[in-house]
Amino acid sequence: MHIDFEPGDYVENPANKEWGIGQVQSIAGNKVTVNFENFGKKVININNVKLEKIENE
């Protein structure tokens, strides 16, 4: 599984849009730590949860 995020990237969890925009804090293996605006810091296993990267224009 390839992770195409890096720390500082903005993402959202399409299954939980109410979490708001999250910023990737760190990545360790398949675990991505994201700080969501409405939900706080969450460690996400990207094998189980599909995060979508938000492209900053």
Rounded CA-CA distance 21/38 in Å is 8
Residue keyed to tokens 């979490």: 19
Residue keyed to tokens 């979508």: 52
The tens-digit pLDDT sequence of the chain (57 residues) is 567 889 999 999 999 999 999 999 999 999 999 999 999 999 999 999 999 999 865
Answer yes or no: are the C-beta atoms of 44 and 13 closer than 8 Å.
yes
Residue keyed to tokens 């995060």: 51
Closest CA to 22 of 42, 4, 2, 3: 42
Predicted pLDDT at 56: 67
CATH number assigned to the domain covering 10-54: 2.30.30
Predicted pLDDT at 39: 97
Domain locations in the chain as residue ranges: 10-54
